[in-house]
Structure 1
Amino acid sequence: MTIPVFIAVIGAALLHATWNALVKGGADKTLSMGAVIIGHVPLAVISLWFAPTPAPASLPYMAGGVVLHFGYQVFLLKSYEAGDLTQVYPIARGSAPLIVALFSVTVLGVHLTPLQLLAVLTIGCGIISLVLVRRADGQRNGHAALMALITGVFIASYSLVDGMGARVAGTSLGFYSYLGIANAICMAAYLRLKSPTTLTAIATKGRGIFIWGGGASFIAYAIVTWAFTQAPIALVTALRETSIVFALLIGVFFLKERLDLIKVFSTLTTLLGAILLRFAK
């Protein structure tokens, strides 16, 4: 992985942790999530003026990506309703690189060096260790962990589908812009059926998250989708999940969540994995 790609994915990780914190920190998490996803539309529409039209062969990947992204968003909401950002976010994101790496090597035939595999495993295991985190009352939050793990399966799935789709499309930005608009339409329809008042409230109560959260989310994943075309999907997915470091800092210092030794251990292990990944050939 080249230095520009490495730095770009780290930047995307910071943006990703930021919008997740906005969703978790919001009083109405459904409103926050809806505002973020529908907030993709302005930048996606602007991007279509500059990006080439994706190749028709990428349409099945795009359709699959829309379904998987929507499933991810629904289960992420359920996870945040049950657990802390500093538990849910790491488990969801930590399981994804392990699944992607396993699928890439065993099914897609992608060759990863021993050091690359060690880096991915280190990042994944470091993050997954947060399943040991206890709630404020001292009890383990098994329900939140289960929801987060299901979310991780969706993350791994859409990462693989989007990565392959962007390569087939011939334009990562064009591919993700269309996908982002379609995903926003699905979210709007979902909110219209589930809670019409939430959908209309995005224009008022959710305006800030729509602008800042939606913009950060779109840019973050647009960068990641581009990186999928520049480096192995498994490595990009693993590096992106170093966002746990940013999520932990935001959770502790801004959301006032509890810091313990497990979270510190997980962060240091994840950073070690990122260092290994940077120097792996």
Structure 2
Amino acid sequence: MGWLSFGQARRNRRQFSRRLHRKAEMSPVVVGLLLASALIHAIWNAIVRNGKDRFWSIAVICLVGAVAALPFALVLGPPARPSWPYLILSALLQIGYSLFLVRAYRDGELSSVYPIARGSAPLLVTLGAALVAGELPNTAALIGIVCVSSGILSLTLGSNRPDRHSAIAAFATGIFIASYMVVDGLGVRLSESAPSYAAWQAVAAGVLIPLSFVIIRRRAPGLPRGKEGALVVGAGILGTLGYCIAVWAMSRSAMGGVSAIRETSILFAALIGTFVLHEKLTVQKIIGALMVTIGVVYLAAA
């Protein structure tokens, strides 16, 4: 019996490892859905950046997302037990992401802050996936890393750069993005049901982030009203859908590639910042955003 138990334990460990390191080529459907997710993400960030109280906007967006995801979570049931710690850890990391994003947008423009925060994420996700899941970067990924790093450096230098505190907050935001995406990439591969994991992750984050608002502000976020309220509610539904797409994609494909394609939202954000929020478009911003975008394309092709 002892040998049988030992053999079974070894087989279980091998199965666990295979599920954790699962990787497949991206289909055109996955790429298309991720591009839609990127556009959605740029839109809801523009709504947050343009809001009067950005912390309130994020808290309500997450709460709306949780309410929208809850019926699906209850119907689908909980994901497999091994994925639960990852799900909770991801939700906790997203609190840090929200706080630093609010700080970055306090003084920084969307077209400057967003590329730093989002561009650093695929770089860090690729490195994190290499360390945690054994997804080693190839030559294309290394080229992508250099391009992303150069683009971010370009955006943080020069006369039109964001102030030091905004740039630091944006990069810290990227660290949290990379962290929760690697955690979700591992968790969804252990969940046995990507839709279930994504739905419950949205519920968990959608409860904890508004709770952090209550703890910090010592009051509940007010109900959304008027045009801004309608935009925030729409962003909550679309934002949840967008990240659920990304979580589902990570159950089928490499984490670095998923993150890279999703961060093409940088170009969408640059366009929205210029033509909707009327931010000044400079040559430096164009070069920086293009370098980051070229980098994420290389990372996606890796």
Q: Distance in 1 between matches of 2:70 and 2:97?
A: 23
Aligned residue identity for 1:108 = A
Q: Alpha-carbon deviation of 1:105?
A: 2.1
Partner of 2:135: 110
Structure 1 gap ranges (5+): none
Indicate yes or no: 2:204 matched with 1:185: no
Q: 1:41-56 maps to which residues of 2 (within 5 A)?
A: 41-56=66-81
- Of 233, 236, 241, 2:255 maps to 233
Q: How does 1:19-168 map to 2 (within 5 A)?
A: 19-132=44-157, 134-135=159-160, 141-168=163-190
Greater Rg over alpha carbons, structure: 2
Contact 2:60 2:210 in 1 (8 A): no
Question: Cα offset for 1:110?
Answer: 1.2
- The answer to whether 1:248 aligns with 2:270 is yes
Equivalent in the alignment of 2:7: none
Question: Against the structure 1 CA distance between its residues 271 and 99, is the aligned structure 2 distance closer, same or farther, given a 3 Å change threshold?
Answer: closer
Match in the other structure for 1:173: 195
Output one character per residue of 1:51-109: Cα deviation in whole Å (capped at 9) or x when no partner: 35300111110111111011101111111112111111111111111112122224432
1:183-236 CA distance string (max 9 Å, x none): 222222222233356612436675313421101110110010011111110111
Which amino acid in 1 is paired with 2:107? A
Call closer, same or farther: CA 1:4–1:142 in 2, change over 3 Å.
Answer: same
Cα distance change of structure 1 residues 38 and 124 upon mapping to structure 2, 3 Å threshold: farther
Structure 1 Cα separation of the partners of residues 197 and 204 of structure 2: 11
- RMSD, matched Cα: 2.2
Letter in structure 1 aligned against 2:69: A
Deviation at 1:112, TM superposition (A): 3.5
Instruction: Decide whether the 8 Å contact of 1:21 with 1:250 is kept in 2.
Output: yes
Q: 1:208 maps to which residue? A: 230
TM-score by length of 2: 0.84
- Whether the 8 Å CA contact 1:123–1:238 is kept in 2: the answer is no
Report the counterpart of residue 6 of structure 2 in structure 1: none
Conserved in 2, the CA contact under 8 Å of 1:40 and 1:217? yes
Distance 1:211 1:26 in 2: 13
- State TM-score, norm by structure 1: 0.89
